[in-house]
Amino acid sequence: MQKLNLYLFVLLLPLVFDAAAQSGVYLELRAGAGTFGMKSMKELQQQAVHTSGIDAKTTDTFGPYVQFGANVLKDLNENTRAGIFVEHGSTGGRVSYRDYSGEILIDDLMSYNAVGGMLYSHYAIRESKLHFFSGMELNAFFSKLVHKEYWRIYTESAESEDTFKAIGVGIKPFVGLQYPVVHLPLRLSVGYMASASAPFHEPGKPKNKLTRNADGKSLEPGWSGLRLNLSVAFPLFGKDGKHSGVK
Partner 1 sequence: MKQRILLLVLALPFLFFSCDYSPSGEHYEEINPKPAVLADLTLHPDKDTLYVRGLILFDFSISLPGRALRMYQLKLDGTLLTEGYKDADTHAFISGNYGNGFHTLQLSAQGNSGTGSLADKVGAEVLEVYRTWTIYIENGPPAAVAITKVEPENGTLRLEWQQSSWRTFAKYELYRIRLGGPLELMASISDVKQTSWRDTTYIGGLVSYWITVSELQDSYDKYTTGPTYTYHYPLPTIVQQSYDAAHRLTVAFTTTPFYKNFESYALTSPQGLSYLSEVQTDTVVTFEDPGFGTDFAFRLVAYPKKVNKEYYYNTHSTYNKVAGYGTAWGPQPLASLWVNTQENLFYTGKDNWLEVTDASTLQVKHKRRTSFHTPEFPHLTVSANGQHVYAIENDTVYKLDPRTLESIAIYRIQALLSADGFYGNISLEGCSNTNRLVIGAKTSSYRDSIYVVDMHQKKLLKQQHSAAYPRETTISPDGKALRIYDAYLVEQGNGNWQKQAIGDTETTLRLIFHPDKPWYGIQTDTRLEFYAIHSGALQTAIATEVKLNRFSIDAASGFLYGTAENTLYVYNLETGRLVRKQKLAQNGIDIFLFKDKIFSSDRYIPL
Query: Cβ of residue 21: shortest distance to partner 1, in angstroms?
Result: 13
Helix (H) or strand (E) holding 48: helix 39-52
* Residue 140 in the binding site for partner 1 (CB under 8 A): no
Pick the stretch among 83-91, 125-133, 173-181, 207-215 that binds partner 1 (CB under 8 A).
Answer: 83-91
Total interface residues for partner 1 by CB under 8 A: 48
Asked if 62 and 42 count as a contact pair (C-beta separation under 8 A), the reply is yes
Q: Which of 3, 14, 77, 99 binds partner 1 (CB under 8 A)?
A: 99
Query: Cβ of residue 41: shortest distance to partner 1, in angstroms?
Result: 11
Helix, strand, coil abundance in the chain, percent, nearest 5: 15, 60, 20
Pick the stretch among 151-159, 163-171, 180-188, 213-221 that binds partner 1 (CB under 8 A).
Answer: 151-159
Which stretches does DSSP call E strand in 80-130? 80-99, 102-124
Site for partner 1 in 13-52 (CB under 8 A): 16, 27, 29
**Cβ-based nearer residue to partner 1, 131 or 219:** 219
Amino acid making up residue 208: N
d(CA 80, CA 176): 14
* Residue 53 in the binding site for partner 1 (CB under 8 A): yes
Angle at 166 between CA 162 and CA 168, to 5 degrees: 160
Amino acid making up residue 198: A
* Residue 238 in the binding site for partner 1 (CB under 8 A): no
d(CA 206, CA 197): 13
* Residue 5 in the binding site for partner 1 (CB under 8 A): yes
**Quick one: 184 exposed, middle or buried, by C-beta within 10 A (0-12, 13-18, 19+)?**
middle
Buried b (16+ CB within 10 A) or exposed e, 83-101: bbbbbbbbbbbbbbbeeee
Q: Which of 47, 96, 121, 163 binds partner 1 (CB under 8 A)?
A: 96
Query: Cβ of residue 88: shortest distance to partner 1, in angstroms?
Result: 4
* Residue 116 in the binding site for partner 1 (CB under 8 A): no
* Residue 70 in the binding site for partner 1 (CB under 8 A): yes
Residues that bind partner 1 (CB under 8 A): 1, 5, 8-9, 12, 16, 27, 29, 53-57, 59-60, 63, 65-66, 68-70, 86, 88, 90-94, 96-104, 107-111, 113, 153-154, 156, 234, 236
